[in-house]
Structure 1
Amino acid sequence: MDLRLSRVHFPVTTLGPGQRLGIWFQGCSIQCPGCISADTWATSRGHTTLEDLVERITLLLPNADGITISGGEPFDQPDALVALLLALRERTGTDILVYSGYALEDLGAPLQRAQGLIDALITDHFELHSAHSRPLRGSDNQRMHFLTALGRERFIEYERPLTEADKSLDVMFDEDGSVWFAGIPSRGDFQRLRDLLNDEGHLVQISADKA
């Protein structure tokens, strides 16, 4: 099965409890203003197959405390998402968190097909000018849904106000020299980092510059 994939990384420590396997889908039709992952919007790149992805992550799964699937927009590729979830469930019993910019009420049939496969789901589009005071969410309009008992057990701790300990990011380096971050930054963090490095003579772009 074909799918569009942005990246895979392990470990990710800022998008759920423990050391997690992070899987980012490529392509997003929602394209929220101010999104920190605008590089994942395009649908013209990232083409791979489910088989290649599963082969790539199989050796990582035994060491993963959980799995976080984001994007891009995973539900823009519902067949690939459900097939991936099934493959993951066959290989691990750890928790699976999925991010979506769609409202829960709009996910309909794709979410029904994924019943029992997703433990926790964070929904709704990012709102740049809304408050940001809850962990794992970029804006307070976004909702966390516990879809299984495991999801509630693992993620109920995040139904609280944001703390200083939540304000951390994982830093990753690609082979082409690109640097990217996993986690939920505070408002304007990346713009301030870009401006600081540009002022020191470095040529820096952030994903929002490429939207």
Structure 2
Amino acid sequence: MSDIRISRLHFPVTTLGPGRRVGLWFQGCSIRCPGCISVDTWDSDEGHVSIASVSGELARLASAADGLTVSGGEPFDQPEALAEMLTVWRSVSQASVFLFTGYELERIAPWLSQHPGLIDALMTGPFRSDLPQSMALRGSDNQRLHVLTELGNAFLELERKADAADRRLDVLFDGEGHAWFAGIPARGDLARLRRLLAAQGHRAETSDRAAGERVP
């Protein structure tokens, strides 16, 4: 392969797994859960970059990172590119891989069998706004954590009720000054942020292309 669709790649991310992690968000999602806060990552016609460029960035960042967290979008909508990216990571780092997918484990089991050891811990299941959000690093309580390797045992700590630390968000900025958030906010957090900004005389708007709240 020579092409991959990526929404963003950032380091460090501190809210999606232990330590300071590289965050890799795939672009394009066929699941499109109602109420998703990452609608900007749905469009599969955007985000085309070369495999070589992303591989180079992973290699550059790997030595300083405590792991790689992959999300989206839906990573398994690009299964070949996903396998290639994780193989690159394994070649440059011994740190853990944590991946979020909206698919259930049964759907992706054949891929996991074909590519053993590329993912250490996996969070599966679609976001459901009709269900509670009480568990750590989950958008809704139907989502399930699967530990796939010995290295993934570090993620067993997430099998607990969420606390305040789980609601932290990394605030990140791109080269154009747009802000976006990495993490899993509590229900209503972004609406509260808009109200707080409005009360202070700011105008916040959500961009379809650059996820996050932009403040002029």
Fold similarity call, TM over 0.5: yes
Distance change >3 Å, CA 140–CA 4, structure 1 → 2 = same
* 1:129 CA displacement: 2.1
Counterpart amino acid of residue 175 in structure 2: E
Alpha-carbon contact 1:75-1:81 (below 8 Å) kept: yes
- The equivalences for 1:23-34 within 5 A come to 23-34=24-35
Equivalent in the alignment of 1:100:
101
Equivalent in the alignment of 1:74:
75
CA distance in 2, matches of 1:189, 1:167: 9
Counterpart amino acid of residue 114 in structure 1: H
Q: Which has the higher contact order (CA 8 A, sep 6+)?
A: 1
Distance change >3 Å, CA 56–CA 209, structure 1 → 2 = closer
* 1:191 CA displacement: 1.7
CA distance in 1, matches of 2:207, 2:41: 9
Normalized against structure 1, the TM-score is what? 0.94
Distance change >3 Å, CA 174–CA 23, structure 1 → 2 = same
Decide which moves more: 49-58 or 92-101.
49-58
Normalized against structure 2, the TM-score is what? 0.91
Counterpart amino acid of residue 67 in structure 2: G
- The equivalences for 1:1-211 within 5 A come to 1-152=2-153, 154-206=154-206
* 1:111 CA displacement: 2.4
Alpha-carbon contact 1:19-1:64 (below 8 Å) kept: yes
* 1:194 CA displacement: 2.0
Which runs of 5 or more residues in structure 1 are unaligned? Answer: none
Deviations along 1:11-33, one digit per CA (max 9) or x if unpaired, are 11100000001000001011111
Question: What's the Cα RMSD here?
Answer: 1.8
Alpha-carbon contact 2:40-2:209 (below 8 Å) kept: no
Which runs of 5 or more residues in structure 2 are unaligned? Answer: 212-216
SS in 2 for 1:135: coil
- For these two proteins, the number of residue pairs brought into alignment is 210
Alpha-carbon contact 1:194-1:206 (below 8 Å) kept: no
Deviations along 1:105-160, one digit per CA (max 9) or x if unpaired, are 111322222221100000000011211111111111000000011101x1011111
Alpha-carbon contact 1:9-1:22 (below 8 Å) kept: yes
* 1:202 CA displacement: 3.1
CA distance in 2, matches of 1:183, 1:114: 27
Counterpart amino acid of residue 51 in structure 1: A
